[in-house]
Amino acid sequence: MTDFDPERFEDKYVHYFTELQRAYKNAFEQMNETYDSELIHAIDQQILNESEPFYEGDGEFRIELPDNPGERTRGVVVDQEKLDQVLDIYVDQLETEIRDVFGFE
């Protein structure tokens, strides 16, 4: 577990890059075990690679997605409803993993 400082999180890629990388990896592994691997890889590489985590306070994090995430997926056939559903679950899992890495879980 890493000591967390909300002020340092503002410059997260300098101070917490390794921890965030671990959280993203853990979320990917959890999702890949449960859902279609092609879809999870597409979300990971084409949507979440442009996401931005923010600290909201009280141990809560928020993941900001790029604009029009559904339009970013290429190479995988999935309807918009399914994509939205799995993406929401993935983002929830990622927020949980970030909280866990920083000792809030």
Query: What is the tens place of the pLDDT at every residue in 8-30?
Result: 999 999 999 999 999 999 999 99
Q: Confirm whether 50 is domain-assigned.
A: yes
Name the domain count of the chain: 1
Within-domain flag for 1: no
The answer to whether residue 83 sits within a structural domain is: yes
Q: Is residue 10 part of a domain?
A: yes
**What pLDDT shows up at residue 3?**
82
Task: State residue 2's pLDDT score.
Answer: 65
37 in a domain, yes or no?
yes
Is 26 among the domain residues?
A: yes
| Residue 3, both tokens | 């000591």
Spatial neighbors of 83 by CB under 8 A, at least 6 apart, are 39, 43, 70, 73
Domain that holds residue 10: 6-101
Tell me, what's the pLDDT at 1?
A: 56
pLDDT in tens, 49-72: 999 999 999 999 999 999 988 888
This prediction has a pTM of 0.92
Q: Is residue 39 part of a domain?
A: yes
Is there a domain that residue 18 lies in? yes
Amino acid sitting at position 47: I
